[in-house]
Structures are given as C-alpha cells and as structure tokens.
Structure 1
Amino acid sequence: MLHFILGRAGSGKTTHVHTLLEDFVRAGRQDLILLVPEQYSFHSERAMLERLGEKDAGSVDVLSFSRLAHSVFRIFGGKSGRPIDDAGRAILMSLALDGVGDSLEVYARHRQSPAVISEMLGLGIELKQGAVAPAEMMAVSDGMQDCLLKKKTREIALVLSAYEALVANSFFDGQDELTNLYDTLLGHAFFAGKVVAIDAFRGFTGQELKIIERILAQAESVYITLCADSLYSQAGDTGVFAHTKRTANQIMELAKKQGVPVAKPLLLPEEGTPGKIAPGDARYKRDALTALEAGLYNPEAVAYEEATDAVTLTAAGDIISECEFVALTVKRLLREEGLRCRDIAVIARTAETYEAPLKSALKKCEVPVFIDKRQPVVTQPLIVLVRSAAEIAANGFSLDAVMRCLKTGLAGFAVEDVSMLENYALLWNINGNRWLRDWDAHPGGYGSELMEADKAVLKSLNILREQVTAPLSKLRGSFENAHGQSAAMAIFEYLKDIDAGQNLKNLAIALEDEGEPVLALEQERLWDDLMEVLDSVAAALKDKKLTAKRFRELFDLVIATRSLGSIPQGLDEITIGSAGRIRTASPKVVFVVGANEGVFPRTPVSSGILNDLERQALIDLGLKVADPAEFKIIEERFIAYTALCSA
C-alpha cells in the first residue's frame, strides 16, 4: 500500500513520519527504513535516537539513496572497480571527443574546448539521473524531423557512448550507482515485508524514481511525504506546489504499473491523526510566520494586519549595506536575545555572491561563520608550480614560465636569489635555450666594464641558473615518448627533485605563524589533492602516448574541475548556504538575502548544449531530460517558498 503524507511547510510531515515509525517499533517491528536526502541523514538519525533510545534506534535504518545502495550491495553484491573522480571524467570525455571527432559535425570545431567538455559531462550526468541511456537517445533521433536537433542528438549519443565505454574499461562510475542498484533489485527482494518511509525530498531524479518503483513492488507499506496541499493539480497549474504535485503523479503512475493500491492521502495538520503536532511542537510559534507561509504565491492571500517583529523587510542600497545589516542584527540577537550562532542561518539564491561581503561584515562584528562552498585550486602555489613546469616541458624555457615556477616559493630558492635571476633575465631578455647556456653578459647592462665583482655575480647567477634548469630539463626529457603513466610519474619525480613536499610544509608553517591556519591547512590538503590528480591521469591514460603539450592541456582541464571544500572552524557558527542546496534543521532565525527581482527567485536562463525548445522536443519524445525554463520558474518559486518557511 502506498500512503502519501501531504502538508504545507511546517505542517508536521516529518514529525508524523517519526511518530509513525516509533509506533511501529513499540509494536515490535524491526524491519523499518527511513529514506531521506544525504544532507538530512544526520538530523534524522539524531531525531530517531532521541525518540527511541539507544536500545531501539537500530530498529529503523536511516538511509540516503547512496547508503541504501551500499546496504544492498553488501548483501547481494554489486559492481566493483576503481572509482572515477571528476579528474578522470574530464580526461576521458576529452579522449571520447577526440576519438569520435571524425564523425562530428555540430561539435567538431569546439570539441576540445573546456566549455564543451564540461557541458557534455553535465548533460551525461543529467541523462543518467533521468535514466536515459545513449542508445535510447540514438534510437529517438531516428524519428526526428528537426535536422539540427537530429544531428545534435546523434552526436551527443555518439560521444556519450564512447565516453561510457572508456569509463567501463578501467573504472566504476558512482553516477551509475543507482542504475546498478535498480538492476540488483530486479533480482533480489531486499524490501520484502519491510515498511519504508520516504521523507524530506523536494523531488526525485529519474534514477531515484526507478528505485522507488522497486520499493513499491516489494515493500509491505510505503509512506511518502510531499510538501503540497493536495495530490492533484489543474491543467496548466503554475502554483508553488505544481512541481511537487507532478512528482506525486509520477509516483502514482509507478504504483499503478506495479499494481500497488494508493491509500487516501493524509493532509496535515488534521484533527485526530497520529502526526497531529501539539501547539508547542509546531514549527511556527508566531502567527505572522503562519500567515507568511499561507500567503506565499497565493492569489487569495489574506493580509496580516497585526503588528509583528517575526517578519522583517529591509531595503538596502547595495550588497555591502545589506550584509552589514545582517551582521549587526546577528550581533544584537546573540547579545540581547541569548541565541547561539548555530540557531541562525543566512540563505541566498547563490551563496558565492555573498561570501566575501558577509564574511567581512560578520568578522567586524566578531561573529564566527561557516560558508558551505568550494574554492577553486588553480591559483594555489602548488598548482601554479606544476602548470608552469608542464608549460616549460611543452614549450621550452620562457622567462614568464620560469619566473612563475620560482615565485611560488616551492622550488627551493630564496626570495633574494629569485629576484637576482629575474633582474638579469629581464635585462637580457633570456628565453628558450639561453637558459641552458652559460650567461656571460654584464649584470649591469651594456657599456659597463666587467670587474671581478661582476664576474662573481655572474658565477652566482650561473650556479642558480643550473639549479633551476636541471630538474626542468630532466622533466622535458621525460616527456619524450611518454605515455599517461610515465607522464604522471615525471611530474612526481620533478616535485621530488626540488623537494616541493617539504617546501610546501614550510609554507604551511609560515602561514600558521602569520595567523592564517585555514590557508595553512589548505596547503597540506592540496598535496593530497594533486597526488589524486596525478593518480587519475595515470589510471585514465595508462599506456596512451602523450606529448607534453597534450599533458598540459589535460592537466589544465582537470584542474578546472578541482576545488577545496570549506572547513568548519567550530561547532557554534552561523551557516550560510545557497537556497537550492542548503538543508536547515529548523533554525530559530533565518535571513533571506538578495530577494531582488530576477535574482531570488532566479529567472531561468536557457544555456548549455540543449536549448529550451530542444529540451521540450526531447521530453515530448519520451526522454527524461531536465525541464525547460517554464517548469524551472515553478521550481524556483518552490525554492523561494522553502527558504522563506525555514525558520
């Protein structure tokens, strides 16, 4: 039996599910599963532990889709292999585009541009999540009338088929995890006799819906919560819950396909239901917040006339003023209201826009903050060193590339020595093989007599020159007849030759001494990250012939995919996140920033390999690609609704 538990934000859906599972446990049931989003799993585990105690908490398995896959594979086995990361994906997509290049027309000219590689990878992920195989795309293209779309669809299918073949040859792709889980569940009744509750999802991918179909086919009972005020929508519905209702209809179709009856949906809050939340447990302690939730995107909203401080609207002249208002208000709440930092969240449509001004404003007010985002690594000293060395291996000794190597501080030369080398090289425009020959021109320039002191300077310069060029010349030689594995090893040997690992540790110590512990820790993490990249290069390219120039292109491509995650510095910090990604555990105060027209909610912009008309055409042909802009507008409204109802 399929049971829908519906309700608007804050109506008690999660509380109802937890109460339901608790009742099952008290009745002696132990075959219970609570399926939640990954970022919500810790909160759910803690909630069940508090309800059931240590003795009975094990009766409910709290799982995400990924953890569910691992649980099933532990029992029934699953595909194994070396997991591929973003570095390996970028390399193999580049190779796939190269491999089918002669068959491309639409994407032939730009097939090796980082943008096309990135967009092709993104589309591949999108199609996998929609459970669309390249062969299915190829088959659909046969019946197309639009000549350009037909070419694009066939070429996309061709590229993705080649890419998946390369991946399958050496790796296991975690993006196939749910597809493999579905295949396993076709032959094994993992959910037989179980009660499964699915909570806190805003929607489901095509892959996840296929897993839900297997759950419906096998489980005794399935309970699914959805943020909506009913199951059904009118034709052309563009209300805030239209996206959720569409999800409900998809699930009901799956239940019908499997012959599973659907119970009358439970709409919360409802008098007399087990999940009816007591007034003291309701999310909204203030009438104004209840009115806000009820009125959002409601054409029949009733104005709330009472005076209240539960909802504050503030206009700021610019983003700096906006962030200063947030910081000063936070400081007052901490000092006067007795709140903790962890009770407060700041939600932006895109957190990156607010990172710098918010951090600055909060720092002035001495408020600790954690911003959940990732930093690109391309400008980090270690990465600059390797990119510059690879450039020298590919193109020879240019003054600019040599200086970039030395100025990272990781090549083992003192600042004074680097400055002396740079001054001489600039004076005499030293490039190419002149770095490999003794320097004998006067350090002072033309027209000066060469004195003994000048000869001593030249001697010192030539010693430094040889120390700089020797490991780089060795690296250049290593790329003659190189392949993937030997190229990665050559870079590693170069780093060993200049003692880059120890030099990086020294840099981290210096940063720590200068009061930059986060930057210091980043340097240590970067070494591990670089080793993973080189490992991925070796695994993806193996014995494939590789010039220094091609290695540099692939290394730059891979580095563009790498980033470092933020490191929380304490347990009591304000959380800042993007509205589409953040999951809050009922904070007491929420600041929604950047609520400007076209920004939040965001006005969808058609971009990428497929435009909106092409997406709609593929959807009409039965392919589950991401929705075009008109549906994204509805989703954007729901994201805004969720953010405004999260306190």
Structure 2
Amino acid sequence: KLEDLALLAEAYDQWLEEQHVHDDQALLDAATAALCQHRHPPSAADVPLDVAGLWLDGFAEMTPQEQELLTAMLPFCRQATLAFCLEDLPTDTPPWLSTWGLVGRTCHALHQRLAGHRDIDLEIVRLERAPARSRFTAEPALAHLETHWSRPLPFEGKPGNAVSLRTCATPEAEVVDAARTIREFVRGGGRYRETAVIMRALAPYQDTLRRVFQRYDIPFFLDARESVAHHPLAELTRAAARLLTHGWHHDDWFAALKTGLLPVNEADVDALENEALARGWGGERWLEPLRCPEDPDLASRLEKVRRRGVLPFLRLQKHLRPGGSPTGRELAVALHAFWRGLRVDQTLEAWAEGATARADALEGRTRPQVHRSVLDQMLDWLRDLAKAFPAEALPLRDWLPIIEAGLAGLSVGVIPPALDQVLVGAIDRSRNPDLRLAVVLGLNEGVFPATPPPAQLLNENDRAALTEEGVALGPDRRWRLGRERYYGYIACTRARERLVLTCARQDAQGRELNPSPFFSLIERLFPTRSDDGIETAEDWR
C-alpha cells in the first residue's frame, strides 16, 4: 500500500515541478526552510525577522509541520508565550481517553522538540486556578462544572438558572427552544453578541437555524464557509457551458438570463419566457430573429432582449477552438474573456455596495464579502483549470462534467461583521467571544461526541504498524474519542453566566436518539437541577 501511495506521490511531485507550482501543503515547509537558512546570519543586519513577541493559544493539536515552523520561528522572537489548556503538566504517555490527552500529547511533543534547541530558553509556567479572577465569579455552578469536568463531583446546592438540561422532540424543536431562550435573554437586557449557539457539526442544523432564527427576527452569523456553487456567476458559467454543449435548451437559456449578469432586465426576461412558453420557442430558434406578426411592438422588444442575451455566448463560442475541442488553457482564457466582456467585476461590486447589513444579519449571510470574494475564487479556479489541463484538447461535452465538479466545490470564507448578532458555529471551528449565554445543541449519542469517521487510505492496523516505526501520524480513533471529550469541555465552559444544553429524542427522520454521555456527566455534576425531563415542543406558528 505504501509503495502504491509513493508512486502516486512521486507522479504528483513531478507534475508540480513541471508546472513550476507548489502544493499549498508545502508552504509551511518552505517557510521553515527559509527561516532555518537565516538562523545564524553573519550580522544582525541580515536577520530576516525581529519579532518582539509571539503568542500562541487555542491549539489542541499541531502537525509536525506546524511544530517545525514554530521551532524555526522562535529564535527570531525576543519573547514568546505558548499557552495550552491542560489540567496537569504533560507526561510521556498521556491517557488517550482523558479530556486533556490529545492536548497533552501535543504539548509534550512540542516541549521535547524545543527543549533540545540551543537557541531557545524554555520555561514552563503553570497557571493555577484563581477563583477571584475567574470568569465564573458570579456563577459558582459554572465554576464547579469547569473544575470538575474530568472528575465529576456533585455540586453542593442548586445551580439555579446557570445550567439547564432540556430534552426536545426533534432537532428542529431544539432550534426553536434556542430561539426562545435567546429572545428571553435579550428581553432581559442581554445583547445578541453576548450569545452563541454551539454544536458539534453545523451542517445538520444549518438550514433549520436559518429558517427558525429568521422567523424569530434574531440576527445571526453562521460561522462556516459559504458555498458559491449556486452564486449567479457560477450559474452563468455552468449555463454557458451547457448552452454551447446541448443546444440552447430552455432551462439553461433562462437560467443564464436570470443571473442578473447579462445586459437584460428582469421584467423583459419574464416577458420573453412567458412568450417562449406560449409559442414553443426553444433550441436553435434562439439564434434567429423573433417574429410576432400580430404584435410588432412586442416582437421588437423581445428581439432586443434576445439579441443582447445571445451575443455574449456567441462571442464565447468564437473564442473557443473552431472544432469545439479547446484545451484547458484555451477554455480558461475564453471564460475569462466572457466574464470581462460582461463586466462581471463591476456588477458584483455594485451588488456588494447595495447590500444592507441588517437584512444580511437577519438572513445569517454576509453577502458583501461573498460578492467581493467570489470573483477571486472563480479566477483561481480558472488558473487551476489552465494548469491542470494545459494541452488536453477535449470536446465541450467532455469539459462539462469537469466544469460542474469544479464549480460544485467552490466556497468562500467570510469574517463576522462587527454587528450585534448571535454567533452560530461548530465547536471545532468557531472562536467564541466573551459570552454570557451559550446554547449547546445536539447532545446526543453519535452526534456530540461525534463518532470517529472510518479509515480511508490507512486503516487502524496500518497506522499502528507505522507508529511502531516512528512515523508521526495524526490521531487514531482512540485519540479522536479523547478529542471529543475536550470539545465537550470547551463547549460547556464558554459562557460566564448561563449554559443551556439540549438533546433530541428523535432525528429528522423519526429515528430514536439517545442522550449524549455529556448529558449524563452534567446530571452527575448537578443532581439537584429543577429542569430534569423537560419536553420542549415545536412552535408551529
């Protein structure tokens, strides 16, 4: 198996060298090599970096590449602070199921690497818990949860409103309950930005959250990369390829016209579509002048729309190889010229300027950033297309699935704007601000903690054999279980005033679900809670 993988890797490396490009995974190695080259410069003037201070925080895991880069960077720092979330000092073999096992393994490996470095003076400082300076000073129940997460002890007293466990009928009922809780919090004087909705994975809840929060008029930001597979520019590009391949089908033609990127207005497109359906216009008929003998004025109006819509596609067709079999490079150049001719960049910028921040916050979207980023993403995609298939000449029908696959995988990352809105995200991605209220959804078995995914290239036996040979690999299934316990700790210790935890009795398909082990852990920590067994129904208003 390793020989097969080596053959593939060698072929890929050779292709990268021939194309004079680098894999983005090699950027860390390149940065490390550059720093190591200047580690001992002949004079102070030759030092490439002079870093006054470096701070590292929030890392539960670090790849060997990341550790090597950090090790190469530290000699250029006057002072550095590397913070790790651990209960005790790391050991050689931290237990894999411990909440702190994976972080301890990372910290220990980095410590071993730095301790033997002659240019680094290493000091370990343990920050003991200081209740007087804790975020949980006003809520002893939350302080108890944080302190005794790994070794549960019953809380002496009642947690009051600080910790709530709620059982809901379905995941949608969980979201409805979260919306009600947030509205109650805001009516009591809280701010949306002091609230977060946390889950293990965002995808199963994303559409429901968007729908329910809009219904409750709650502004929110979904912390996830946004797919642009159906952005108007992607739809236009997809429709153009289909039109030139399949012969001007009705759906492809009007999908292109409705993107808003062609020089036609919406009312004219609607009129053209109504007339096309009534008269049966379609196919190559769109390449001929339109005639309506009984209504010359309508014919003249629709003919102008047809001509303005068709011309950009005819120009695109001329840019392609006459035989209809362009190379990847020719196809990329033609599509770029197609966009440039339509002044797509100006249209997208106008859309971004016209977006309203309040409406976008209520929809959980950040459209201005998306419109400004999508063209860059699409241009990068064209460059990849030209690099990957520089000389392969294929008929357009063979390019179509390649174009479809490329567009389907495009996404953009967005930065949360500085608005009063709820942050909604997955625990392994989102970086929560200072929170007063945290709502954690999906505390069900197999959901949170998540079940480790099945092995792909290397199974567990392969990984064990490589580990025995000293090969550094990522965490196996056992270590991933420990990571889930750490994620549970992080999720349940974000809020300084109130924590609401929910689970569902059934999934969206009606299959029965069991509560998460975290649910049982909270029950052991707070046996005197007053909300045990609450059944939250959905709001059908």
Q: Are 1:312 and 2:164 matched, yes or no?
A: yes
Match for residue 253 of structure 1 among 112, 130, 137: 112
**Alpha-carbon distance in 2 for matches of 1:469, 1:367:** 43
2:312 aligns with 471
Deviations 1:362-403 (A, max 9, x none): 445544322222221111222211111122234433333223
How does the TM-score come out when normalised to structure 1? 0.62
2:489 aligns with 641
2:523 aligns with none
**Alpha-carbon distance in 2 for matches of 1:529, 1:345:** 31
1:241 aligns with 100
**Alpha-carbon distance in 1 for matches of 2:143, 2:430:** 22
1:280 shift after superposition? 3.2
CA contact (8 A) 2:353 2:368 kept: no
CA contact (8 A) 1:369 1:575 kept: yes
CA contact (8 A) 2:199 2:427 kept: yes
Q: Are 1:280 and 2:280 matched, yes or no?
A: no
**Higher RCO (Cα < 8 Å, 6 or more apart):** 2
CA separation of 1:236/1:514 partners in 2, compared to 1, >3 Å: closer, same or farther?
A: closer
**Alpha-carbon distance in 2 for matches of 1:507, 1:262:** 53
Q: Which runs of 5+ in 2 are unaligned?
A: 40-46, 496-541
Match for residue 575 of structure 1 among 423, 426, 429: 423
CA separation of 1:417/1:585 partners in 2, compared to 1, >3 Å: closer, same or farther?
A: closer
Deviations 1:129-177 (A, max 9, x none): xxxxxxxxxxxxxxxxxxxx2454234423532453256x0x4555433
CA contact (8 A) 1:182 1:211 kept: yes
**Alpha-carbon distance in 1 for matches of 2:447, 2:78:** 45
- Matches for 1:588-607 after TM superposition, within 5 Å: 588-606=436-454
CA contact (8 A) 2:29 2:65 kept: yes
**Alpha-carbon distance in 1 for matches of 2:56, 2:355:** 47
1:314 shift after superposition? 1.6
1:573 shift after superposition? 2.5
**Alpha-carbon distance in 1 for matches of 2:355, 2:195:** 31
Q: Are 1:293 and 2:142 matched, yes or no?
A: no
CA contact (8 A) 1:186 1:214 kept: yes
Percentage of pairs with the same residue? 24
CA contact (8 A) 1:615 1:627 kept: no
**Alpha-carbon distance in 1 for matches of 2:344, 2:36:** 51
Q: Are 1:211 and 2:58 matched, yes or no?
A: no
**Alpha-carbon distance in 2 for matches of 1:361, 1:580:** 23
1:559 shift after superposition? 2.3
**Alpha-carbon distance in 1 for matches of 2:297, 2:73:** 80
Deviations 1:413-435 (A, max 9, x none): 35565456546666787665454
1:354 aligns with 205
CA separation of 1:607/1:302 partners in 2, compared to 1, >3 Å: closer, same or farther?
A: same
Matched to 1:268, the amino acid is L
Deviations 1:162-202 (A, max 9, x none): 453256x0x45554332123212323236999886644422
**Alpha-carbon distance in 1 for matches of 2:368, 2:50:** 48
1:632 shift after superposition? 1.0
Matched to 1:600, the amino acid is F
Deviations 1:345-377 (A, max 9, x none): 221112333334334444455443222222211
2:244 aligns with 393
CA contact (8 A) 2:227 2:410 kept: yes
Match for residue 494 of structure 1 among 327, 334, 338: 338
1:226 aligns with 84
Q: Which runs of 5+ in 1 are unaligned?
A: 1-148, 270-275, 444-451
Q: Are 1:188 and 2:32 matched, yes or no?
A: no
CA separation of 1:313/1:161 partners in 2, compared to 1, >3 Å: closer, same or farther?
A: same
1:621 shift after superposition? 3.9
CA separation of 1:493/1:604 partners in 2, compared to 1, >3 Å: closer, same or farther?
A: same
**Alpha-carbon distance in 2 for matches of 1:328, 1:159:** 56
1:115 aligns with none
**Alpha-carbon distance in 2 for matches of 1:379, 1:239:** 43
Deviations 1:26-59 (A, max 9, x none): xxxxxxxxxxxxxxxxxxxxxxxxxxxxxxxxxx
**Alpha-carbon distance in 2 for matches of 1:204, 1:405:** 45
Match for residue 544 of structure 1 among 369, 391, 406: 391
Q: Structure 1 residues 314-323 or 565-574, which shifts more?
A: 565-574
Matched to 2:100, the amino acid is F
CA contact (8 A) 2:352 2:372 kept: no
CA contact (8 A) 2:351 2:371 kept: no
Q: Structure 1 residues 187-196 or 153-162, which shifts more?
A: 187-196
1:640 shift after superposition? 1.2
CA contact (8 A) 1:327 1:365 kept: yes
CA contact (8 A) 1:370 1:573 kept: yes
CA separation of 1:575/1:467 partners in 2, compared to 1, >3 Å: closer, same or farther?
A: closer
Match for residue 325 of structure 1 among 172, 177, 184: 177
1:343 shift after superposition? 2.5
**Alpha-carbon distance in 2 for matches of 1:519, 1:244:** 34
1:499 shift after superposition? 5.9
Deviations 1:224-282 (A, max 9, x none): 4322223226675421111122123312432455479998854431xxxxxx74x4322
CA separation of 1:200/1:458 partners in 2, compared to 1, >3 Å: closer, same or farther?
A: closer
CA separation of 1:220/1:319 partners in 2, compared to 1, >3 Å: closer, same or farther?
A: same
CA separation of 1:412/1:282 partners in 2, compared to 1, >3 Å: closer, same or farther?
A: same
Matched to 2:258, the amino acid is K
CA separation of 1:612/1:473 partners in 2, compared to 1, >3 Å: closer, same or farther?
A: farther
C-alpha RMSD over aligned residues: 4.1
**Alpha-carbon distance in 1 for matches of 2:440, 2:37:** 47
- 1:345 is paired with a residue of what secondary structure? strand
**Alpha-carbon distance in 2 for matches of 1:522, 1:604:** 34
1:606 shift after superposition? 1.2
CA contact (8 A) 2:220 2:424 kept: yes
1:556 aligns with 404
Q: Structure 1 residues 555-564 or 178-187, which shifts more?
A: 555-564
Matched to 1:544, the amino acid is A
Matched to 2:68, the amino acid is K
**Alpha-carbon distance in 2 for matches of 1:610, 1:253:** 27
CA separation of 1:513/1:342 partners in 2, compared to 1, >3 Å: closer, same or farther?
A: closer
2:221 aligns with 370
Match for residue 521 of structure 1 among 363, 368, 374: 368
CA contact (8 A) 1:178 1:211 kept: yes
Flag the structure with higher helix content.
1
**Alpha-carbon distance in 2 for matches of 1:222, 1:459:** 72
- 2:62 is paired with a residue of what secondary structure? coil
**Alpha-carbon distance in 1 for matches of 2:417, 2:127:** 39
Matched to 1:232, the amino acid is T
Q: Are 1:179 and 2:29 matched, yes or no?
A: yes
How does the TM-score come out when normalised to structure 2? 0.73
**Alpha-carbon distance in 1 for matches of 2:110, 2:278:** 73
- Matches for 1:21-170 after TM superposition, within 5 Å: 149-150=1-2, 152-165=4-17, 169=20
Match for residue 380 of structure 1 among 219, 226, 231: 231
1:289 shift after superposition? 2.0
